[in-house]
Amino acid sequence: MAKSFHFSKASVLVTGGAGFIGSNFIHHILARRGFSGKVVNLDKLTYAGNPGNLAGARKYGRRYAFVRGDICDPGCVKAAMKRHGVNCIVNFAAESHVDRSIHGPAEFINTNINGAFVLLEAARELWKADAATRFHHVSTDEVYGSLGPKGRFTEKTPYDPRSPYSASKASSDHLVSAYSHTYGLQVTISNCSNNYGPRQFPEKLIPLMILNALEGKPLPVYGDGKNVRDWLYVEDHCDAIRLLLEKGRPGETYNIGGGCEKRNIDLVKNLCSALESLAPSAANAALRGRKYSELITYVKDRPGHDRRYAIDYSKIHRELGWNPAHTFAEGLARTVEWYLGNSEWIANIKNGSYRKWLEKNYARR
């Protein structure tokens, strides 16, 4: 008799679990009552992967394992799957920063497209032995392109990616979808809007602005600052992915969003206000008497900068009852508090000491 898939007991291969969303997802599911399965974190530890993001996961003993490896390496992927009896793959691993994709697209093509292909092939092999094997692909709203002043992206919006990053994510989405149609692999895809929260690498808008503000450095706003993003607290994204793994319909795509559209300039001003209440500029010597908002500096625009993103998440709400649980004000305050309380994490990134630790502990074989 064919096996059925139960996420609560699964052996889950999480790729890219040392990054921002992947690490939050691992903490989220391991801490959840009702999840008795196991997590295997397969991460290459690029500049964006930080083993410190999983500090605390050791307490789960044999229910958590880390494998340093590349999703583009079929041998490594298959060995990790076999060793840990994997029957569920959640693919977070990616090159994720749009600006980097503009300056150097090659690694985006490699990891985001070829890496997804390697994972799908490995999953197809597992699927021959266990047809219930599940594959969830984590993707972005950027595959849909740019919106005018009205409307929101639905799951039926045609793909129109505009940056090397979004084009590579769109390609991987198509591959995942093709493996469902062609081979009957049990896949789900989620396309999510901009995340923010603890452990985000300080190249992305919110953590970059927090760190610059605390050091009294300029807060660089691209172009006219009127580009709009739809912001979602990372914990809400993790909760949505878990629900999709528990109850999502295989073969389907689900949009996930915050229902929280903000112009970049307004967001940066909100952030300056949050910082004023949690770490007043008057008490920060680096500010030399200035308010955080006085650091805002308009700079040259990002090439091909998408104007507006907004997500219609009514499908996941209707089918699975999901809603974002955090308001933007709550999420932003928690985020600022996290960065204020984790100066060692920040210092390790700035001085690169975690890379030395990483090379010592995870030397390539």
- Choose the contact partner of 222 out of ligand NAD, ligand TDX, none; CB within 5 to 8 A by kind: ligand TDX
Paired tokens of 352: 């690169």
Cα 355 from Cα 149, distance rounded (Å): 43
For ligand TDX, which residue of 44, 204, 237, 242 counts as binding (CB under 6 A)? 204
Work out whether 137 is an interface residue with ligand TDX (CB under 6 A): no
Report the chain's C-alpha Rg in angstroms.
20
Identify the CA nearest to 90 among candidates 156, 11, 176, 13: 13
Cα 243 from Cα 227, distance rounded (Å): 31
Paired tokens of 147: 């919106």
50 CB neighbour count, 10 Å cutoff: 24
Comparing CB distances to ligand TDX, the nearer of 23 and 194 is 194
CA dihedral 322, 153, 49, 124 (to 10 degrees): 80
Annotation says 142 is catalytic? yes
Annotation says 141 is catalytic? yes
Identify the CA nearest to 219 among candidates 257, 270, 170: 270
Comparing CB distances to ligand NAD, the nearer of 30 and 48 is 48
Q: Which of residues 155-184 bind ligand NAD (CB under 6 A)?
A: 169
Work out whether 168 is an interface residue with ligand TDX (CB under 6 A): no
- Interface pattern 123-142 for ligand NAD (x via CB under 6 A): ---------------x-x--
CA dihedral 51, 57, 59, 60 (to 10 degrees): -130
- Choose the contact partner of 98 out of ligand NAD, ligand TDX, none; CB within 5 to 8 A by kind: ligand TDX
Annotation says 130 is catalytic? no
Identify the CA nearest to 70 among candidates 48, 91, 44: 44
Work out whether 220 is an interface residue with ligand TDX (CB under 6 A): yes
Q: Which of residues 284-313 bind ligand TDX (CB under 6 A)?
A: 302
For ligand TDX, which residue of 43, 70, 142, 235 counts as binding (CB under 6 A)? 142
Beta strands 186-192 and 38-43 are unpaired
Catalytic residue among 43, 70, 95, 141: 141
- Choose the contact partner of 22 out of ligand TDX, ligand NAD, none; CB within 5 to 8 A by kind: ligand NAD
First to last CA, the chain: 41
Residues that bind ligand TDX (CB under 6 A): 96-98, 140, 142, 194, 204-205, 208, 220-222, 227, 229, 264, 302
**Residues acting as catalytic residues:** 141-142, 165
